[in-house]
């Protein structure tokens, strides 16, 4: 009898030894004369438990967490292939609290399936949404996406239904789907986890989008820092093409659609949609002015849907299960779920997919288990390097686009980075400007020069040179960058800076933590 063993092949798991664990398991099994089938699945998102090994016993997946290669011997000794007791044994995967509390609408196949097995994907409703779309027609897809209330998960939160409708109605026969997988925000990894855990899911999503708006070509712009995602996605694209899920006349539907995978070149601003389009066109990744919106004049000047990986990947279930079910989740105008990513100084880092409305505190405390250091939370940065630093007093803010805008913050791509009370927030303000200076495309003046001057002004404040005059200057610089920058890069860099000035001003005087 062959035993099924899952060891994730996902970047964060691999970074803590998953590959070595897999090798060790194979070796031990061989030595022990045990017949096993090793499946390299995606991650369930409980990164704090990686490498998280599962073994299938009586159709149940028994999990063992934080396995090091040197633990494998003892696992075998403990009879783990039949679910034996071991210090690292977590019990059935579907009983782990971190996972059972989630609403995995978009990430439901991540961890569950073999990412590169088309059969496994098909067994788990893969391409069912696309088939349904073929049956119901593109109008039904457009309506479902609109009715779901889905908004762009890349950060801007623009209603996806309106975007798709605009492209569908735009003049011209050549249209494109451009998937933004240039996931550059600090503390974010949901795009990568999805690609590594469910690549066919993304392919199906893009085909759905193409079918809905009348595009026959898709592009995935993947950041170069994701080599494993690139390898997995490349294989998946090949398999899909080979099996008639991409290319001409997909599954006899008459619909043509293919996808090109494009690797970025290490520029953060290429995650900005117009810079990404420039880069996809083979040009230097600098921002375009808008309007015209990409929906009218996008890639190569043609109407283009530009969506983030998670946005796209949310669609198949909307089509398959109905928009109402999705719209029933969430709060206010923030419908559905978001894959929150817990990072920074946190005990239980990982991906948590929950409906909007959950508070930061719930995420950080209930899921994250507080700081890894055990010290009090001082600040939380939500939404990447351009997101505001929220003080502990704002932890009860519900995760809701509008509620965040109200407090001068943004949800962005759902990345949550936690800092404890030892953090020097003046340095974090400086870092915001420094990051902008490093990553600015250099097109517009406020961002190109302003960010560099911002670092200098903050340095002067920290060094107590004309602190008040420089404070005023910094505020004016923030106004200038926010109001005059060409894109959100320069326009939002002031967010973290202002939030530090507002909530942690004491750190400029007393870096040791004056605002504790």
Residues in contact with another protein by the rule CB under 8 A: 267, 269, 284, 286, 289, 291, 436-453, 456-457, 469, 473, 476-477, 479-480, 483-486
Backbone torsions φ then ψ of 453, nearest 5 degrees: -65, -35
* Residues 6 or more apart whose Cβ sits within 8 Å of residue 283: none
Q: Quick one: residue 167, left, alpha or beta (phi over 0 = left, psi -120 to 50 = alpha)?
A: alpha
Please state the closest distance from residue 334 (CB atom) to another protein, in A: 21
CA distance 79 to 85: 7
Choose between 289 and 512: whose C-beta lies nearer to another protein. Answer: 289
CA distance 261 to 280: 10
Please state the closest distance from residue 332 (CB atom) to another protein, in A: 21
- Going through 392-481 in order, the beta strands assigned E by DSSP cover 415-420
Please state the closest distance from residue 478 (CB atom) to another protein, in A: 10
Please state the closest distance from residue 258 (CB atom) to another protein, in A: 23
Instruction: Quote the tokens at residue 394.
Output: 């704002």
* Residues 6 or more apart whose Cβ sits within 8 Å of residue 89: 62, 63, 64, 78, 80, 83
Choose between 134 and 431: whose C-beta lies nearer to another protein. Answer: 431
Choose between 22 and 269: whose C-beta lies nearer to another protein. Answer: 269
- Going through 383-453 in order, the beta strands assigned E by DSSP cover 389-391, 415-420
Choose between 331 and 484: whose C-beta lies nearer to another protein. Answer: 484
Choose between 47 and 451: whose C-beta lies nearer to another protein. Answer: 451
Choose between 289 and 396: whose C-beta lies nearer to another protein. Answer: 289
Position of tokens 């490349």?
234
SS3 assignment, position 442: coil
Please state the closest distance from residue 284 (CB atom) to another protein, in A: 7
Choose between 136 and 476: whose C-beta lies nearer to another protein. Answer: 476
Choose between 62 and 436: whose C-beta lies nearer to another protein. Answer: 436
Please state the closest distance from residue 445 (CB atom) to another protein, in A: 5
Choose between 248 and 456: whose C-beta lies nearer to another protein. Answer: 456
Please state the closest distance from residue 178 (CB atom) to another protein, in A: 21
Choose between 140 and 473: whose C-beta lies nearer to another protein. Answer: 473
CB-based burial label for 103 (10 Å; 0-12, 13-18, 19+): middle
Please state the closest distance from residue 181 (CB atom) to another protein, in A: 21
The CB-side HSE value for 312 (13 A sphere, CA atoms) comes to 32
Instruction: Quote the tokens at residue 226.
Output: 């994701």
Angle at 157 between CA 152 and CA 161, to 5 degrees: 55
Please state the closest distance from residue 388 (CB atom) to another protein, in A: 19
Backbone torsions φ then ψ of 84, nearest 5 degrees: -60, 155
* Residues 6 or more apart whose Cβ sits within 8 Å of residue 325: none
Position of tokens 């759902």?
414
**Residues 12/49, Cβ–Cβ less than 8 Å:** no
Choose between 186 and 422: whose C-beta lies nearer to another protein. Answer: 186
Please state the closest distance from residue 429 (CB atom) to another protein, in A: 17
Please state the closest distance from residue 183 (CB atom) to another protein, in A: 19
Please state the closest distance from residue 263 (CB atom) to another protein, in A: 18
CA distance 376 to 150: 35
Annotate 27-59 with b (16+ C-beta within 10 A) or e (fewer).
ebbeeeebebeebbbbbbbbbbbbbbbbbbbee
**C-alpha torsion sign, points 340, 341, 345, 347:** positive
Choose between 91 and 172: whose C-beta lies nearer to another protein. Answer: 172
Could you tell me the strand order of the sheet in which 53-57 lies?
A: 36-39, 3-6, 53-57, 60-64, 89-92
């Amino acid at each position: 009898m062959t035993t099924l063993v899952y060891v994730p092949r996902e970047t964060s798991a691999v970074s803590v030894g998953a590959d070595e664990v897999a090798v060790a398991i194979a070796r031990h099994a061989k030595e022990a004369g045990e017949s096993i089938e090793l499946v390299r699945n995606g991650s369930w998102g409980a990164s704090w438990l990686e490498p998280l090994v599962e073994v299938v016993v009586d159709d149940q997946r028994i999990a063992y967490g934080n396995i090091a290669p040197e633990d494998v011997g003892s696992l075998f000794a403990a009879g783990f292939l039949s679910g034996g007791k071991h210090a690292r044994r977590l019990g059935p995967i579907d009983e782990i609290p971190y996972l059972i509390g989630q609403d995995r609408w978009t990430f439901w196949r991540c961890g569950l399936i073999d990412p590169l097995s088309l059969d496994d994907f098909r067994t788990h409703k893969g391409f069912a949404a696309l088939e349904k779309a073929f049956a119901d027609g593109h109008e039904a897809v457009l309506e479902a996406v609109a009715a779901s209330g889905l908004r762009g998960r890349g950060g801007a939160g623009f209603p996806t239904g309106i975007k798709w409708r605009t492209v569908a109605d735009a003049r011209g026969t050549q249209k494109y789907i451009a998937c933004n997988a240039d996931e550059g925000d600090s503390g974010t990894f949901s795009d990568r986890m999805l690609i590594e855990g469910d690549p066919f899911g993304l392919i199906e999503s893009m085909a759905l989008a193409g079918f809905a708006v009348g595009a026959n070509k898709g592009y995935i712009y993947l950041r170069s820092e994701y080599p494993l995602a690139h390898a997995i996605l490349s294989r998946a694209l090949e398999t899909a093409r080979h099996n008639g899920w991409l290319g001409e006349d997909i599954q006899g539907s008459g619909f043509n659609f293919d996808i090109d995978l494009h690797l970025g070149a290490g520029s953060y601003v290429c995650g900005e949609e117009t810079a990404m389009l420039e880069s996809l066109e083979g040009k230097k990744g600098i921002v375009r002015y808008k309007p015209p919106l990409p929906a009218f004049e996008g890639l190569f000047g043609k109407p283009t849907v530009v969506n983030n990986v998670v946005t796209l990947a949310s669609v198949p279930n909307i089509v398959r299960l109905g928009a109402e079910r999705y719209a029933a989740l969430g709060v206010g105008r923030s419908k559905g779920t978001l894959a929150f990513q817990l990072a920074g100084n946190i005990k239980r880092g990982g991906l948590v997919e929950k409906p909007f409305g959950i508070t930061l505190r719930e995420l950080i405390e209930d899921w994250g288990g507080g700081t890894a250091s055990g010290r009090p939370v001082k600040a939380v940065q939500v939404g990447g390097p351009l997101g505001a630093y929220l003080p502990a007093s704002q932890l009860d803010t519900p995760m809701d686009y509008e509620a965040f805008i109200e407090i001068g913050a943004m949800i962005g791509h759902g990345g949550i980075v936690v800092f404890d009370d030892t953090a020097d927030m003046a340095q974090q303000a400086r870092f915001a400007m420094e990051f902008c200076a490093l990553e600015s495309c250099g097109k517009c003046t406020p961002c190109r020069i302003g960010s560099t001057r911002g670092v200098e002004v903050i340095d002067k404040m920290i060094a107590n040179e004309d602190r008040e005059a420089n404070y005023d200057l910094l505020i004016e610089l923030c106004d200038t960058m926010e109001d005059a920058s060409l894109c959100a890069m320069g326009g939002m860099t002031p967010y973290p800076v202002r939030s530090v000035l507002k909530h942690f001003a004491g750190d400029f005087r007393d870096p040791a933590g004056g605002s504790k």
